[in-house]
Amino acid sequence: MGKEIILKTENISKQYRLGVVGTGTIGHDLNRWWYKIRGKEDPYLKVGDSNDRSTNGYSDYVWALQDISFDVEQGEVLGVIGKNGAGKSTLLKILSKVTTPTTGEIKTKGRIASLLEVGTGFHPEMTGKENIFLNGAILGMTKKEIQYKLDEIIEFSGCRRYIDTPVKRYSSGMTVRLAFAVAAHLDPDILVIDEVLAVGDAEFQNKAIGKMQEISGTNGRTVLFVSHNMAAIKTLCTKAIVLEHGKVKFKGTADEAVDFYLKNEITSSGEHYSHETSEKSSDILGVSILDSENKLCSVFAFNHKIYLKIKIRVSEKHLPVSVLSVRVIDQFERPIFTSEINLKDYINSVGLHSFNIELPYKTLTPNDYRIHAVFHIPNQELISNLESVVSFNIEETGSELYKYAGLDYGCVVLDCKWNKI
Amino acid sequence: MSTKNENWLYTISANQKLINFNLKEVWNYRDLLFLFVKRNVITVYKQTVLGPLWYFIQPLFTSVIFTLIFNNMASIPTGDGVPSFLFNLAGITSWNYFKECLTGTSDTFAQNQGIFGKVYFPRVIVPLSTVITNLFKFGIQLLVFVGFYIYYAFFSDQGSNVAPTKAIIFLPILVILMGLLGLGLGMIISSMTTKYRDLKVLVAFGVQLLMYGSAVMYPLSYFKQKLPDLSWAVEYNPMTVIIEAFRYMTMGVGDYSLLKMIYAIIISVILFLLGLVIFNKTEKSFIDTI
């Protein structure tokens, strides 16, 4: 380790109380205080479940974070990856001093500025320029610093014409540009950023990513960056940690962490459907989504192969005439394509059968997709119609068009022949 | 783990000292303080027709009503040669500053949770900015008072008796005391309302009640004469001391003594420090409970 450690977190934990604050709360408060004045440990710290929002816990207290430890070196860009509710935002809140950890401590050698939101403290009645000063000061800049950078900020925002107009007259895009412009000109030792890139149009996003690279690369600033955008993590970060249920699951280089995250992202629902107990003579008994290693999976990188497995039971009556089809639907309910087979072409016996379907490789754009599985006799009988039976997600991991992430640039990526004439 | 003698800039941890008021940090954020004040001043009356005129209207109308009800109808005496309108205006001007500071700071956390939840800066900046903003308002209302004062002193025979006393040089101290008192109470209340919203309801009418117990529309001497058994409640209210002193300094009527002033100073400073301690304790993690 040649470089100096600028930020050190040691066993950070954060406990939250579930439910509402009401009459019962004061009882717990008094009890806690009673333990405290006798010099004992807080009785409620012993309880608490790990934070899995889909299960029913045993306790009113949950650990949003548990024993988080990591070091950040000077000039490092650390990515933080995790599912919704993994504790990313809580970690950022603690780092930016918005809230305190329940136990553990964070030591730092530099000034931390946090960007958990763009445009914090913007006042709609004040002009763009006034808001630059106010927002800058909230983020920790002095008036002198802002004055010095004012021209640059206005230039970056591209809102020069409107700079003396109240912000309430701005379009939402302009407000965001102005806010990001202020944030981008912050000059702290450590910058903490939460997915602020997911704003603005494509042109501005490129500008924002460029600025981020400049901050971390050229200026050698230390950055902590939280995002769902795997491509951004891969391009911007040098290292990354993966959080799951409030614990650090993986530490490593950004590429390793992204791979780990995608492999281990197991959702409790989505990738598998099963109805083995069906009593119908013909039915779909199971649908699952598998990766190339034949394991259940619901999150894929853009360049991963995706397989569908369908298990059916077919009766003598249906075998010669029925059709099994799958349809891929995107998150906007748009059917992308349908693929089907006549059963009699593939099987010649009644009973249980399984099919493995390879979906087109490197075709679906990063997005959320669902599968409809239908077992039917066209225009005659619907044997089984399973809508949205399983779902999967393709993560942006650096496809050609990643710079448009978040925008709807189509649902498939296809090779077109471009010829210069 | 960290046996090397590394000098960390600061540490974020669960343990907090009781008093860790970081004056240097607040000083570093002084620009923010003034920008907040500027924001508060210029945005209050945006898109109103009368604008800052509202600063005049409110105390004037209240004084007129008070004069009609308490002096003309209930005939409360305001002292020899002191016009009751001026008497009421003095009371209301000083009471208003305290009240605005108290109510303005008492929902600091609830009002600013959007900002507080996203960005760190010394939270005490916000109530401080409220108190400074109110100082502007107080200044304007003081001008109104001075205007009527001059009118009564020179152009009307009704108030030939009003004259400032030498103690008027302590007027700034009085203003600071009102600010400290309002700020201290406000910070205590705002800290407590993060968890228990009940206090918010209490403040709304508590302030109203407190006004009647602070000798705003009657002289303390008259209260003592009429309700001698209850007079301690009004007499030891620090706001009574301040308002009486304000009237003594400006018009020469009222109950004023060095001892009482010292009493008011001690109470204000204690409440302010207490507020600061509680506020600092709350700001660390209020975002989890609000």
Domain containing residue A133: CATH number: 3.40.50.300
Structural domain harbouring A289: 272-404
A128 and A166 assigned to the same domain:
yes
**A214 and A90 belong to one structural domain:** yes
Residue A83 lies in a domain: yes
CA distance B50 to chain A (A): 17
* Co-location of A259 and A370 in the same domain: no
- Shared-domain flag, residues A344 and A202: no
Phi/psi of residue A162, nearest 5 degrees: -100, 10
My answer on whether A91 and A169 are in the same domain is yes
Beta bridge mates, A274: A286
pLDDT of residue A265: 57
In a domain? residue A207 = yes
A contact test, residue of B1, B2, B12, B198 with most A CBs within 10 A = B12
Looking at the structure, tell me whether residues A100 and A226 fall in a common domain.
Answer: yes
pLDDT at B2: 41
**Sequence-separated (6 or more) residues with CB below 8 Å from residue B107:** B190, B193, B200
Decide if B42 and A125 are in contact by the 8 Å CB cutoff: yes
Q: What is the CATH number of the domain that holds A388?
A: 2.70.50.60
Contact A135, B42 (CB under 8 A): no
For residue A142, CA distances in Å to A128, A296, B29, B35, B275 come to: 17, 53, 7, 11, 27
Residue A3 at interface with chain B, using a CB cutoff of 8 Å? no
- Low-confidence stretches of chain B (pLDDT < 50) are 1-5
Residue A411 lies in a domain: no
Same domain membership, residue A279 and residue A260: no
Query: Rounded to an integer, what distance in angstroms lies between the CA atom of residue A151 and that of residue A140?
Result: 19
**Average per-residue pLDDT for chain A:** 81
| pLDDT at A2 (0 to 100) | 53
Residue keyed to tokens 């701005």: A170
Residue A93 contacts B, CB cutoff 8 Å: yes
Asked if the structure places residue A240 within a domain, the reply is yes
Last residue within a domain, chosen from A240, A264, A288: A264
Strands A368-377 and A61-73: unpaired
| Interface check A127 vs B, CB under 8 A | no
Cα–Cα dist B188/A168, whole Å: 34
A and B: number of Cβ contacts within 8 A: 111
Interface of B with A (CB under 8 A): 1-2, 6-14, 16, 28-29, 31-32, 35-36, 38-39, 42-43, 46-47, 114-121, 195-196, 284-285, 287-289
Distance between CA atoms of residues A322 and A350, nearest Å: 12
Contact A244, A84 (CB under 8 A): no
Ramachandran area for residue B81 (φ above 0: left; ψ -120 to 50: alpha; else beta) = left
Same domain, residue pair A87 and A159? yes
A322 shares a domain with A200:
no
ipTM greater than cut 0.85: no
Rg, chain B, Cα only: 21
Q: Considering the domain boundaries, does residue A169 fall inside one?
A: yes
pLDDT value, residue A267: 44
Amino acid at B109: F
Using CB atoms, pick whichever of B35, B38, B285 lies closest to residue A99: B285
Number of domains observed in the structure of chain A = 2
CA distance A14 to A91: 9
Query: Residue ranges per domain, chain B?
Result: 23-288
- In this prediction, the residues of chain A whose per-residue pLDDT falls under 70 are 1-3, 18-26, 36-37, 39-60, 195-205, 229, 263-270, 399, 405-406
Minimum CA–CA partner of B198 in chain A: A22
Q: Are B181 and B271 in contact (CB under 8 A)?
A: yes
* CA B106 – CA B103 distance, rounded (Å): 5
Rg (CA), chain A: 26
Query: Does residue A373 sit in the same domain as residue A226?
Result: no
